[in-house]
Amino acid sequence: MFNIILFGPPGSGKGTQSARLVEQYGLIHLSTGDLLRSEISRKTALGMEAKAIMDRGELVPDAVVVGMIASALDHNPMAKGFLFDGFPRTVAQSEALDNLLHQKKTSIGVVLAMQVSEEELVKRLLNRGLTSGRSDDNSEEVVRARIVEYHKKTSVVADYYRKFDKVVEIKGEGSVEEILLLLCSEIDKRLSN
Ligand code: B4P
């Protein structure tokens, strides 16, 4: 089993590239953002609680997202591997993920960390907000709050995995195809080892 974390700030291209990578490598795509938005669209209690938090640009509690990931892992016992997109976003989530994978006798193979400047992130997210209907992409204030939350709580996740020598930095600016090639070359290197 080969498991990948696609890591980076909001708007760095995680969702965009994940869609292509899961198709290319036959992995199961686990996006906590997508799982939360599905709860919101089904108007579940969890979704209603999460929506208020997401609309402020803040992170949903660790226990909520870890529970969603644990259940998704259990539902895919035959997976060739998982692509984690937007998860883990805190060190506590990273530790929980390591434990869950350890119980399944597997681990993270690589953390691909996308590097994009703040002005490009803001531009991309506000641009997506014009058509996506996502309330967290609509206002510059909320978009910037998400980036602040990333620096406060999420960027340390890369340091956590650096200790295990698992992080590779990827230039996340350029065309979607150019960035995909960079990501695939890092994955292929590890798969051939
Ligand atoms: P996510 O759904 O993970 O949202 P995101 O970070 O904005 O998405 P992503 O980074 O995938 O977007 P992409 O660049 O592909 O999270 C939303 C919210 O959910 C969080 O703020 C938080 O509240 C909550 N949440 C999720 N996971 C959580 C967790 N683990 N713990 C706690 N809370 C959690 O796309 C952005 C735009 O850029 C698109 O329009 C795309 O077309 C464009 N784009 C992509 N690549 C490009 C390129 N190369 N050039 C130009 N544009 C590009």
Q: Is 113 domain-assigned?
A: yes
Q: What is the pTM of this model?
A: 0.94
Tokens of 95: 């530790």
- Whether 25 shows a pLDDT value over 90: the answer reads yes
Residue 158 inside a domain? The answer is yes
Distance in Å, CA 86 to ligand 1 centroid:
7
Beta bridge partners of 150: none
Higher-pLDDT residue of 193, 184: 184
Structure tokens at 45: 């209690």
The model's pLDDT over 139-149, given as tens digits with 9 standing for 90+, comes to 999 999 999 99
In a domain, 191, yes or no: no
Is residue 20 assigned to a domain? yes
Domain assignment present for residue 193? The answer is no
- Domain CATH number, residue 78: 3.40.50.300
Nearest CA to ligand 1 atom 40: 128
User: How many domains is the chain partitioned into structurally?
Assistant: 1
Using the predicted structure, report yes or no on whether residue 193 has a pLDDT greater than 90. no
- What whole-number percentage of the chain has pLDDT above 70? 100
What is the chain's length?
193
Its domain, for residue 141, covers 3-186
Query: Considering the chain, what percentage of its residues have pLDDT values greater than 90?
Result: 97
Pairing assessment for the beta strands 167-171 and 82-85 based on DSSP bridges: unpaired
Q: Does residue 176 sit in helix, strand or coil?
A: helix
CA of 193 to the centre of ligand 1 (A): 31
How far apart CA 19 and CA 83 sit, in angstroms, is: 10
Q: Among candidates 109, 89, 107, 96, which has minimal Cα distance to 153?
A: 89
Pocket of ligand 1 (CB under 6 A): 10-16, 32-33, 36, 53-54, 57, 59-60, 65, 86-87, 89, 93, 124-125, 127-128, 136, 146, 176, 179
Would you say residue 22 lies in a domain? yes
Question: Could you tell me if residue 192 is inside a domain?
Answer: no
Q: If you measure from the C-alpha of residue 139 to the centroid of ligand 1, how many angstroms do you get, rounded to a whole number?
A: 15
The DSSP result for 43-108, as a single string, is T-HHHHHHHHHHHTTPPPPHHHHHHHHHHHHHT-TT-S-EEEES---SHHHHHHHHHHHHHTT--E
- The mean predicted confidence, pLDDT, of the chain is 96
